[in-house]
Copies of this chain bind each other. A is one copy, B any other.
Amino acid sequence: MSVEQLVKDICVQARQAARRLSVVPTGVKNQILLDLAQALEQNAPVLQEANALDLAAGREAGLSAAMLDRLTLSDKVIASMAQGLRDVAALPDPVGEITGMARRPNGLLVGRQRIPLGVIGFIYESRPNVTVDAAGLCLKSGNAVVLKGGKEAINSNLALAKLIDQVLEAGGVPQGAVSIIPTTDRAATTALLKQDELVDVIIPRGGEGLIRFVAENSSIPVLKHYKGVCHLYVDQSADHDMAVAIAINGKCQRPGVCNALETMLVHADEATVFLPKAAQALMAQGVEIRGCPRTLELVPGAVAAQEEDWPAEFLDLILAVKVVESMDEAMDHIARYGSQHTEAIVTSDYARGRRFIDSVDSSLVLVNASTRFNDGGELGLGAEIGINTSKLHAFGPMGLTELTTTKFIAFGDGQVRS
């Protein structure tokens, strides 16, 4: 069978499963999540045997230590996968919720009922634990999912697929509710991206290269973000200690993630006092400062920022710093170079905080808090399948509710339109 036919068959089966899955009761879905958690723990040796094949191949292929680490299904990772499933089981089921029910003048009762999206195509890179996370979130939200993992994790993913299949079948969930495309062929990804008659949405997770490949080749809507160029604006009247703490947290707590801080903008009135102090604290943590000319005057040891530093996602201990004459200049800079991901202001001025919140067009806008909070768990969504920085359907972190939509429902007693 060709790869294209294989992918199409999987998607056809997913489509059929989706129709039945949409009405599976919450209790049944939760029990399967709990059973799967237990099965993962009980079958850890089998999973680790398969994982060992991937690790050996990865070592031979010269994967970095960091990549091998992400690929490893340690006891700790397996326990965390199982706990993740139990957490998802404990979350409320968004499906079936009815809102806005109201009576029209003709007596027709109209409202909206929350329903699954249908079939989700999920494309990701090396971490095999993502396989289980995504399967759990899609199942709980009543969606069928077609998973395409990275080639480095193929043996681990096939072992997980076998286990998931067994648990779903025992739980009475339709076959095809969770499918893993069993090949490392990149043509399978391209084929998946063309199934617009069968797949409702594509969610990619990985590096910018993967995301761009998916966006450019998909005929299905894609929920995605390319990068996080997150800004902190230190306003006139900012509390300097607070601003330093938020800058250090944003830049240093975990520099390699999309909600890490990349650029700090400082109001000119504060720069003389604030910048030397902030820079000293940042440099003490090993941060390289790439500054505008005014920053260079105030911060010994800073290097001159180039134009390409302003839109850069460093994902490293590097911070671009610019002194601005006004909040408008800061917001213009964000609009020009930002990625609509996360921006924060530190201010003690009520009106300016309000204006920043209203005017900045990003998926999370914060006053007096770290950009690192842009995460489904931290924002209260319970779990997160990804983040979207395009504005359609969901803007920001996506939890269970963002894997659903609503249909209109109407209860009449014979109403016709006049």
List residues of A whose CB falls within 8 A of some B CB. 19, 22-23, 96, 102, 104, 108, 110, 113, 115, 117-118, 200-201, 221, 239, 242, 245-246, 248-249, 253, 335, 353, 357-359, 361-370, 372-374, 378-380, 390-397, 405-417
Contacts and interface: CB of A to CB of B under 8 A. Distances in A.
Nearest to A254: B417
A417 B361 contact: no
Nearest to A357: B409
Nearest to A396: B408
A369 B407 contact: no
B414 A407 contact: no
B412 A19 contact: no
Contacts of A248: 416
A361 B108 CA distance: 20
B253 A416 contact: yes
B369 A416 contact: yes
Nearest to A394: B405
A242 B413 CA distance: 8
A217 to B, nearest CB: 11
A352 to B, nearest CB: 13
A206 B361 CA distance: 32
A132 B361 CA distance: 27
A412 B369 contact: yes
Contacts of A409: 357, 364-366
Contact of A367 (B117, B357, B412): B412
14 contacts: A102-B380, A242-B414, A245-B416, A249-B417, A367-B412, A369-B412, A370-B417, A373-B417, A374-B408, A378-B417, A379-B408, A394-B405, A395-B406, A396-B407
A392 B361 contact: no
Given A368-B411, A369-B410, A416-B369, A221 B392 contact: yes
Contacts of A379: 104, 110, 408, 410
A396 B113 CA distance: 12
A68 B368 CA distance: 60
B410 A365 contact: yes
A364 B415 CA distance: 15
- Of the listed residues A373, A410, A412, the one surrounded by the most CB atoms of chain B closer than 10 A to its CB is A410
A185 to B, nearest CB: 26
